[in-house]
Amino acid sequence: MPLNSVDILLVEDNMNDAELTIRELKKHNLSNKLFHVRDGEEALEFIFATGKFAGQRQVDYVPKVVLLDIQMPKINGIEVLQQIKENERTKIIPVVMLTSSKEDPDIQRCYALGANSYIVKPVNFEGFAESIKNLGFYWLLLNQPPH
């Protein structure tokens, strides 16, 4: 898959959650242009075409949506969000924050930083599947990007 044509960038350190997410999207034919990175560092390298993605892709070919887990090693989701939204070229990328807990004290902060949506990953599978499906549909099919 050419890295310039990625539609969904999934940033998720939990492999199980990632697998379930991808599977659910696949069910609805939404995972063709999905790229999965495992932590914040990798996510930033992908978005800004640095590190191991240097020369692999252009920054201007932005994904249609970034699904961003908050709780991650090295660089967490909030920092990634901040960097995306601070950069003129990337701040238009819709970012959906994913978290495991309703207790998360960072919800307000995420919205303030410009997160486009905030999803609590439900424990029950039906809920989870429904969320992911809706997410995919909305951002890939319904949402009209600015360009």
Q: How far apart are CA 48 and CA 60, in angstroms?
A: 9
Q: How many CA atoms are closer than 13 Å to the CA of 6, on its beta-carbon side?
A: 24
Distance, in Å, from the CA atom of 104 to the CA atom of 41, rounded to the nearest integer, reads: 22
Between 62 and 80, name the residue whose CB sits nearer to other proteins. 80
Shortest distance, position 77 Cβ to other proteins, whole Å: 12
Q: Is 6 or 34 the residue whose CB approaches other proteins more closely?
A: 34
Minimal distance in Å, beta carbon 43 to other proteins? 19
In residues, how long is the chain?
147
Answer for the pair 67, 35: CB distance below 8 angstroms, yes or no. Answer: no
Least distance CB 113 / other proteins (angstroms): 19
Of the pair 31, 99, the CB lying nearest other proteins is at 99
Give Rg (Cα) of the chain: 14
Binding site for other proteins (CB under 8 A): 14, 16-17, 20, 23, 71, 99-105, 121-125, 128-129
CB of residue 104 vs other proteins: minimum separation in angstroms? 7
